[in-house]
Amino acid sequence: MNITGNTIFIPGATSGLGLGLALRFQAAGNHVIVGGRRTELLDRIATEHPGIGAVQIDTADPSSIERATQQVVAEHPELDTVILMAGIMEFEDLHTADFLETAERTIATNLLGPIRLIAALVPHLSNRPSATIMTVSSGLAFVPLPATPTYSATKAAIHSFSQSLRVQLADTSIQVLELAPPAVATTLLGQENDPHAMPVDEFLDETMSILESNTDATEILVDRVRFLRFAEAEGRTDDVLALLSGRV
């Protein structure tokens, strides 16, 4: 991926890593459009960061995805990159059926949302001379956090879907990247003060450095996620799972 001169749509960019990436990409010389559910946050971002576009979108709602993607393409026909940041992470107790509502909400947002966005945008992106789809999985795609089983499962599904998407789109102009963050100190699951979480700026610095220095990368992996990504290959899955079981 060339990190400058793009027009980038980032649904799920009103806070946390999504907003952080939006600002880093804008600073690198890209035109960025952020997406999110809350119009007041979108308005604030557009006011505080001149040049950033904003589109209201609920990635759990198919009709909202259809409306928002049509708006983005109509207003920004030069769109060539989408970064699928939107996601939720919630604790689940599997002892009773009470977790089911959370599981369904997580699947709708974390798995169906990105798939629907990809379906809506591939026809446009495939007509661009060069384009990028960046999915966002997690280190937990490779070893699950037992306290968030559906979140972990959706991220494993995103990893698998990304691999298939990359193969199927190999005959197009679209590059498929997968960003797999470790635990980062954001409000996702209240990790902003977690001593185990990676500082946000450190994550953003390393991610942008990888994108700039390794334009042919398919997986964007900061060093602190590698113990999860390669746990199975290194025969450490049980040990890492036991470690994650204590972080609840």
How high is the pLDDT of residue 195? Answer: 82
Distance CA 231, CA 233 (A): 6
Q: 68: closest CA among 131, 121, 124, 15?
A: 121
Domains and CATH numbers, the chain: 7-245 (3.40.50.720)
Catalytic residue, from 142, 151, 161, 203: name it: 151
Query: CB neighbours of 171 closer than 8 A, spacing ≥ 6?
Result: none
Query: What integer pLDDT is reported at residue 247 of this predicted model?
Result: 62
C-alpha angle 162-166-171 in degrees, rounded to nearest 5? 155
Identify the pLDDT of residue 187: 84
The pLDDT score that the predictor gives to residue 215 is 86
Which residue type does 95 have?
Answer: H
Active-site annotation holds for 70: no
Q: Which residues on adjacent β-strands are paired with residue 11? A: 35
Q: Closest by alpha carbon to 85, among 141, 11, 32, 182? A: 11
Query: How far apart are alpha carbons 88 and 46 in whole angstroms?
Result: 23
Positions of the chain with pLDDT lower than 70, given as ranges: 247-248
pLDDT of amino acid 108:
97
pLDDT at 192: 82
Give the residue among 94, 186, 72, 88 at the shortest CA–CA distance from 136.
88
Max CA pair span of the chain? 51
